[in-house]
Amino acid sequence: MAERARRGRGGGGAARRAERSAVSFETAKFIERNIPNFEVLTEEALEIIEHNAETVLEEIGVNFPDNPAAIQRWRDAGADIDGERVRIPRGLARKLCATAPSEYIQHARNPDRNVVVGGKNLVLAPVYGPPFVRDATGGRRYATMEDFNKFVKLAYMSKWLHHSGGTVCEPTDLPVNKRHLDMLHAHMTLSDKPFMGSVTEPSRAQDSVDMCKILFGDQFVQENTVMTSLININSPMTFDDVMMGALEVYAQNNQACIISPFIVGGAMAPVSVAGTLTQVLAETLAGIAYSQLCKPGAPVIMGAFVTSIDMNSGAPTFGTPEAAHITYGAGQLARRLKLPFRSAGSFCGSKLPDAQAAYETANSLNMGLLSGVNFMLHACGWLEGGLVSSFEKFVMDADQLGTLHHLARGVEIDENAQAMDAIREVGPGGHYLGCAHTQANFKAAFWKSDLLDYKPFETWEDEGARDTQALASIRVEKMLGDYQQPPMDPAIREALDAFVAQKKLAEPDSFM
Amino acid sequence: MAERARRGRGGGGAARRAERSAVSFETAKFIERNIPNFEVLTEEALEIIEHNAETVLEEIGVNFPDNPAAIQRWRDAGADIDGERVRIPRGLARKLCATAPSEYIQHARNPDRNVVVGGKNLVLAPVYGPPFVRDATGGRRYATMEDFNKFVKLAYMSKWLHHSGGTVCEPTDLPVNKRHLDMLHAHMTLSDKPFMGSVTEPSRAQDSVDMCKILFGDQFVQENTVMTSLININSPMTFDDVMMGALEVYAQNNQACIISPFIVGGAMAPVSVAGTLTQVLAETLAGIAYSQLCKPGAPVIMGAFVTSIDMNSGAPTFGTPEAAHITYGAGQLARRLKLPFRSAGSFCGSKLPDAQAAYETANSLNMGLLSGVNFMLHACGWLEGGLVSSFEKFVMDADQLGTLHHLARGVEIDENAQAMDAIREVGPGGHYLGCAHTQANFKAAFWKSDLLDYKPFETWEDEGARDTQALASIRVEKMLGDYQQPPMDPAIREALDAFVAQKKLAEPDSFM
């Protein structure tokens, strides 16, 4: 597959030569869990929630507004139609979901960066969507395309990040109707990791597919998944025609979508965990079933963006125990559907990359690993409830993602790991620093941060008593300074440039 | 039991009147888990580790230096003695451990604060041992008795903290041979939560017991456990005579001890998880067996203080995945021994209560809950690898402990939690904020921080754009300002004062 992928990408001699001369930045393979999932719902609770979700679909139904084609598809499939309301007979949605694959490969232009989504795997992708950026020197400000490019470079340089993501920040200095072209161009040319497509208009989804055809080759895109894009459901139970239009484009082109309720508990879903899970399941069943009506076998991920709310201020709250319960439970429901699962991330409500941000983020990242998440969007860089992409927090979180890789390895129990010879060699009162087993194993034994402070107090003080944000600022600059663009066949680059230029000329700028 | 406890504490009319007039600060009940434990070791791995631990005890043995009485006890029990080396025949230590209770009540002078240690419970106690303190205004400095008192007050005021702890910081301004008297006096008079005794000399353990007899009554102490104290093992496999002397005093008085290896992996134990677990199990089996030789049935906790090391700097590292693997595994081993388990805490290597501190602490706290820890020492306030008790971090961590309480509740699935009426009432496109189910449930639905920032950006900026440390500084001052001493029978107070005064006169000060 890798070999075919390489040939498929139109790489001639020039591309191969460029590849050989490239500076390589290490990227860890996506996580393959060798640990169990943590499960909070009993079999009885799962069955109640599954029963109730079918009741919601059958009795209450879901809305597909302004979308006669979708209504027709549902009618043909046997749903009960009443205007824009679609009531789905018990069991039908689940049956339709069965054609969705339980795992798929998303190809990157560098086949070493391909990811397998589903099963025991966890793929980590950066923050998505914030209109603002923040760094220590510039403070909080509207994001620009220059910021966007920097985040794509940081993601490319981040060892524990497997995916380049999508809207790593919203480039507000570019026209709304054209910025998707520049964003995709950046992911394609500044990185060689897999990426996401545009969902803000069906035509922009089509542009994303067309640009992928240039990058990967026409036939390769028809035969393989090269994008995973984010389709949000307007919870409760509303399927926006723009998002559904983008989903239709991607499904018909065999490109993957995350189909994801976006829920602040108590506002877009009931204030209880079991009630929220019922709605999450009903919504994802309907959305995924619809993707399979568009194209049976289209790759999809069952998503669950869920968090709680501070009922005093109305602010969403992150890293909370209730969000954890919902995510653990949603993971169980996804596994029973045999579908890849997306949830969790570097979520926090804090305005700064401070202790609050880190507590909330660590709570969510750990819970994401243990809940069996297969695709974690927002795995680094999220700040202020998703309003801000933070440069410092991006590298702080990206460093912490290393702990998930090591945790997921589980515990070795072979003879070397048992270390009986070391215990014999050292004996009571001795120490292990110099013993043969330690010398042979220490390099790979413990996860080590590339960012955090492990220095003696006096050294740390002499160097300016820097906190984590200050260390992260230095790391951001260092990574951007070290960045080298991955090589690309010049013919492909020219074709991409030409496509973007031609598209930009085709219609006037819009900032609405 | 509570009623007997009250009578046992010598409370006459004055005490009862004082109790009625007290301002009450809410303390949550210790955590009773309604969620499963997370387990990383297979049955096969557990059996290998258990087999290897017995091999360590039998072939290598453990040292009980400078302790002829201990050696005699081991000889009488059937161990193979060679000088200070004790080799324990396969199965003997485990057999001796069987008389230790699987759970016990630690009584507090306020019976509402009694804790049950073991089973599905988790008791949270503050940081233990640091010689330094830090706060935002005073920086890092040697700890004094004044600092100690402040931490006891903060622990008393902290809703999610069930235990007053022991050496919340080391009062370095007091003589080494007398400071235990002031520390115990502070726990007894400034708080009514359960506490720990002194272990730095057997005579100081005896002083702790004697002071408890004043506080609780003579007979009550003989019949009930009123202290849980920390006995560290000198890993690898060495049982210090001072610590063992303190253990003997406590065991013979039915007082509980945590028997705990203190391990930085790669230095005091093998650099592998399975090897460290083998040593942890061998050491705790030997230590707990010894406690039962001193007094069959003495309450004990199987402890595991374990962390990893940065092999470049030699610094211990915290919140790491390897520490998590060891803790998850040690929890499994403790449950197979049917013993209460102590591990995890607010561990971090950071010099400041910043993002590093919070990532590392959140990693450890979450892991502690899921690994089935029954007694979590250091649950708040730990900074700089345990060198520093931080005032700000104390209240930051103590606030986060609320998330563990809510996580442990698990997921309700009754009709109210299913919320089908709410989903019907709201329907597609609606919102839940005003619906009947939300109104009826929102107050108890979501955990809410008492410290973190949930404000709108503009409000937060107007109020000074404070980070978590700044908010915590304010909270420390507020809590100390609100503090009111819990009432105490004046006769008991006088007797405690007199005991301390008399003991202080009995020998010269020593600062060694």
Q: What is the tens place of the pLDDT at every residue in B353-396?
A: 999 999 999 999 999 999 999 999 999 999 999 999 999 999 99
H or E element at residue B300: strand B300-303
- In chain B, which residues have their Cβ closer than 8 Å to the Cβ of A236? 423, 426-432
The answer, yes or no, to whether residue B457 has pLDDT greater than 80, is yes
Chain A CB within 8 Å of residue B475 CB: no
Q: How far is A50 from chain B (nearest CA, A)?
A: 11
Q: Pick the closest to residue B111 from B15, B229, B240, B253 (CA basis).
A: B15
Give the pair of three-digit tokens for residue B37.
């434990």
Q: Which of B359, B393, B457 is most worth mutating to test chain A (most A CB atoms within 10 A of its CB)?
A: B359
Chain B CB within 8 Å of residue A237 CB: yes
The answer, yes or no, to whether residue B436 has pLDDT greater than 80, is yes
**How many other CB atoms are there within 10 angstroms of residue B433's CB atom?**
17
Chain B CB within 8 Å of residue A20 CB: no
Residue A293: alpha-carbon gap to chain centroid: 25
Alpha helices in A141-229 (DSSP H): 145-157, 179-190, 202-216, 218-223
Q: Which of A38, A267, A445 is the closest to B322 by Cβ? A: A445
Q: How far is B335 from chain A (nearest CA, A)?
A: 18
**How many other CB atoms are there within 10 angstroms of residue A219's CB atom?**
10
- In chain A, which residues have their Cβ closer than 8 Å to the Cβ of B319? 362, 403
The CA distance from A374 to A33, in Å, is 10
Give pLDDT < 70 ranges for chain A: 1-24
pLDDT value of position B314: 86
Nearest-Å Rg of the Cα atoms of chain A is 24
**How many other CB atoms are there within 10 angstroms of residue A37's CB atom?**
17
Q: Which residues pair with A116 in a beta bridge?
A: A105
What's the rounded mean pLDDT across residues B487-512?
96
Q: Which of A42, A352, A441 is the closest to B467 by Cβ? A: A352
Q: Pick the closest to residue A163 from A200, A110, A126 (CA basis).
A: A126
- Is residue A193 within 8 Å of residue A123, measured between CB atoms? no
Q: Pick the closest to residue B288 from B86, B96, B65 (CA basis).
A: B96
Q: Are B324 and A407 in contact (CB < 8 Å)?
A: yes
ipTM of the complex in this document: 0.95
The CA distance from A438 to B270, in Å, is 7
Which residues 56-95 on chain A approach chain B with CB closer than 8 angstroms? 56, 59-63, 85
In A360-411, DSSP assigns E strands to 375-376, 382-383, 388-390
- In chain A, which residues have their Cβ closer than 8 Å to the Cβ of B447? 308, 320-322
Q: Which of B275, B356, B424 is the closest to A468 by Cβ? A: B356
- In chain B, which residues have their Cβ closer than 8 Å to the Cβ of A424? 59-60
pLDDT, averaged across chain A: 94
- In chain A, which residues have their Cβ closer than 8 Å to the Cβ of B437? 270-272, 275
Q: Pick the closest to residue A239 from A73, A78, A370 (CA basis).
A: A73
Q: Which domains does chain B have, with CATH numbers?
A: 10-15+26-33+98-408 (3.20.20.480)
- Is residue A81 within 8 Å of residue A65, measured between CB atoms? no
Longest dimension (CA), chain B: 79
Residues 6+ apart with CB under 8 A from A503: A178, A181, A207
pLDDT value of position B172: 98
Q: Which of B45, B317, B469 is the closest to A454 by Cβ? A: B317
Q: Which residues pair with B331 in a beta bridge?
A: none
Which residues 319-338 on chain A approach chain B with CB closer than 8 angstroms? 319-322, 324-325, 329
What's the rounded mean pLDDT across residues B438-464?
94
pLDDT value of position B393: 98
**How many other CB atoms are there within 10 angstroms of residue A138's CB atom?**
10
Chain A CB within 8 Å of residue B387 CB: yes
Nearest residue in chain A measured CA to CA from B416: A272
Q: How far is B483 from chain A (nearest CA, A)?
A: 25
pLDDT value of position A24: 52
In A14-128, DSSP assigns E strands to 31-32, 62-63, 80-82, 85-87, 103-106, 115-118, 121-124
pLDDT value of position A335: 98
Q: How far is B481 from chain A (nearest CA, A)?
A: 24
Task: Of A5-19, A129-143, B105-119, B228-242, give the lowest mean pLDDT range.
Answer: A5-19
pTM value is: 0.95
Q: Which of A423, A447, A457, A474 is most worth mutating to test chain B (most B CB atoms within 10 A of its CB)?
A: A423
In A363-426, DSSP assigns E strands to 375-376, 382-383, 388-390
The answer, yes or no, to whether residue B82 has pLDDT greater than 90, is yes
| Beta-carbon contacts below 8 Å between A and B | 406
Pairing of strands B228-233, B256-264: parallel
Pairing of strands B80-82, A139-142: unpaired
Q: What is the DSSP letter of A195?
A: B
Q: Which residues pair with A309 in a beta bridge?
A: A316
Q: Which of A356, A366, A392 is most worth mutating to test chain B (most B CB atoms within 10 A of its CB)?
A: A356
Alpha helices in B88-144 (DSSP H): 92-97
pLDDT value of position B110: 97
Q: How far is A322 from chain B (nearest CA, A)?
A: 6
**How many other CB atoms are there within 10 angstroms of residue B504's CB atom?**
15
Q: How far is A9 from chain B (nearest CA, A)?
A: 39
DSSP notation for B337-402 = TT--EE---S----SSSSHHHHHHHHHHHHHHHHTT-SEETT-S-EEGGGTEEEHHHHHHHHHHHH
Binned at pLDDT 50, 70 and 90, residue B14 comes out as low
Binned at pLDDT 50, 70 and 90, residue B26 comes out as confident
